[in-house]
Amino acid sequence: MSETPQGKGMTRTELAEFVAAQVKQFIGTEMAGLIQQNIEASVAPLRQKVTDWGARIVGGGGASKDLTREPGVALARCVRATAAAKHQGSGPDGAVSILRMWGDTDLADSWASARQKALAAGDATAGGFLVPTEFSQDFIAYLRSVAVMRKLGVPTITMSSGTLKIGKGTAGATASYIGENTNAPKSQLATGQIELTFKKLACLTPVSNDLTRYSSPGSDVIVRNDLTAAMALKEDSMFIRGNGTDGSPRGLSYWAPAANKIAANVTMSLQNTVADLGKLMQQLMGADIPMLKPVWIFAPRIYNYLVTLLNTQGNFVFRDELTQAKTLWGYPFGVTNGVPTNLNTTGAGSNDESEVYFFDVAQAIIGEAQNMLVDASSEAAYYDGSQVQAAFSLDQTVIRAIAEHDFAMRYAGAVALLTGVDWAPGSV
C-alpha cells in the first residue's frame, strides 16, 4: 500500500482520491468502476428528488410530474394557467410557459402536444383554449361524482363530432301460439333513431387574481370545486327539465309521454304518498320496461319530507332505508336542486310545487365531446345572482369553461314523473 502523504493534513478531496487509488490498486480498475456505478445508481433517485424539489421551489410550489393529483385538478390547473396568461396579455403558449414555470412539465408537454395536433388537423379553437383530452376526461370523471344524473349511472358515449345517431326501440316484437298447419303471424321489432347533437354548457366562474398569481395546488382545488358545482347543478336541471329549445338538451320531463305524467293527490297523507309513489312504479312495469336499473330523483325538500314521515305509531316510515341503504323501495335515488320546488302545475297559485321522477337509467344516454374549451378575461362582467359585477374593478379573472353534450332517452316510456307535488316536512 502506498504511504500516506506526510508532513501536512489532507483535504477531503485529497483523502477521497487517496482512498480511491488504494482501492484500484488492490481490487483492480474494472471492479472499482462497478462499485462506482452501483453507488451512482443508489443515489440517482435521491438526486432526482432534489431536482424536483428545486423545480417546485422555483415554480412557487407547483406540482411536479411525480406528484399524484386529485381527480379534476389537472384541468383546474390548466384553467388557472390560462387565467394567468390572459392576465399577462399572452395566449395558449403563455399558459404552457406558466405551467413550466410552476414545475408542471407533464401538463405543459401534454397541452403543447395537443395544440400541435389540433393545429395540424385544422381544428378551430376560437371559442377558447382546447384542453387535452386526458385532462377533460379526468374532470368529467370527477363531475360524475357530483352531478346526480351521472352519479346514478346514466351511460355516456363519446362523440367525436357534433352529431351522433343511435338506434332506439319503439315497439316490441310479439309472440303467439299457433295450431297445427297454421302459419305463424308476422312479428317484427319496431325500431327508430334518436339524434344526439352537441349542446354547449358554458360556465362562468370569477376567480380572485390572487389565486392566479401563485401556483399553490390548493387554489386548483378551489377552482375545480367551483366549476364542478356550477356545471353539475345546471347540467342536472337541463337533463331533468330542459325543453330542447334555445340550445338546451331535452330532459326527462319532455321525454316522458303524457300518460306517464301523473298528478299527485292534493291531500297529503302517508297513504296518499305511498299510493302516488306506487303509481310511478306501476307505470313503468305496466309498459314492460325491463327495469334494468330504475332510480328515483327528487328535490332536497322532498327527501326531507320522506325521511321525516311518520306513521300513526310515531315510527319513521322511510328513514332507515333512505339513510342507511340509500334506496327508496329498493331502488337508488338522487337528490338535486335541479328539480325545482317553485312550480305551479295545478294552477293553485302557490308556486311551491315540485316533481318526483322514476326512470330506468339503462334506457338513458349522455353523448359528450372528448375535450373542453377554457378561456379567461380580466375585463369581462358577470351576473352574481343579484347584480352585474365588473371583474376588473374587483381584481378578478372570469373563467369560462365550455362542455359540449346532449341527453336522450332511448325509450321514452322508461320515464314517469309525479307532478304537483306539494310535500314538505311537517305537512302530514
Most confident of 17-26, 107-116, 226-235: 226-235
Residue 28's pLDDT band, with cuts at 50, 70 and 90, is low
Give residue 54's pLDDT: 44
Q: Round the CA-based radius of gyration of the chain to a whole number and report it.
A: 31
Give residue 341's pLDDT: 96
Q: Residue 123 pLDDT more than 50?
A: no
Which helix (H) or strand (E) segment holds residue 307: the answer is helix 300-308
Most confident of 70-84, 179-193, 197-211, 308-322: 308-322
> Which range, of 22-31, 63-72, 190-199, 336-345, averages the lowest pLDDT?
22-31
Q: Residue 57 pLDDT more than 50?
A: no
Counting residues of the chain whose pLDDT is more than 70, the rounded percentage is: 75
Scanning the structure block, which residue is given the C-alpha cell 305463424?
184
Q: Residue 151 pLDDT more than 60?
A: yes
CATH H-level, domain 252-365+411-421: superfamily: hypothetical protein PF0899 domain (3.30.2320.10)
Q: Which residue has the higher pLDDT, 111 or 92?
A: 111
Which helix (H) or strand (E) segment holds residue 417: the answer is strand 415-421
Residue 173's pLDDT band, with cuts at 50, 70 and 90, is low
Give the C-alpha separation, 153 to 132, whole Å.
25
Scanning the structure block, which residue is given the C-alpha cell 388537423?
121
Give the C-alpha separation, 142 to 283, whole Å.
34
Q: Looking at the chain, how many residues does it have? A: 428
Give the C-alpha separation, 389 to 376, whole Å.
15
Q: Is 332 exposed, middle or buried (0-12, 13-18, 19+ CB in 10 A)?
A: middle
Give residue 51's pLDDT: 45
Give the C-alpha separation, 188 to 186, whole Å.
7
Give residue 132's pLDDT: 84
Give residue 205's pLDDT: 84
User: pLDDT digit string (tens) for 294-348?
Assistant: 999 999 999 999 999 999 999 999 999 999 999 999 999 999 999 999 999 888 7
Residue 23's pLDDT band, with cuts at 50, 70 and 90, is low
Contact between residue 99 and residue 56 where contact means Cβ atoms under 8 Å apart: no
Terminal-residue alpha carbon distance, the chain: 100
- Angle subtended by helix axes 92-101 and 73-87, to nearest 10: 110
Q: What's the rounded mean pLDDT across residues 53-78?
A: 63
Give the C-alpha separation, 298 to 305, whole Å.
11
Residue 38's pLDDT band, with cuts at 50, 70 and 90, is low
User: pLDDT digit string (tens) for 239-270?
Assistant: 999 999 888 999 999 999 999 999 999 999 99
Q: What's the rounded mean pLDDT across residues 52-71?
A: 52
Q: Residue 194 pLDDT more than 80?
A: yes
Q: 381 CB contacts (<8 Å, ≥6 apart)?
A: 388, 389, 390, 391, 398
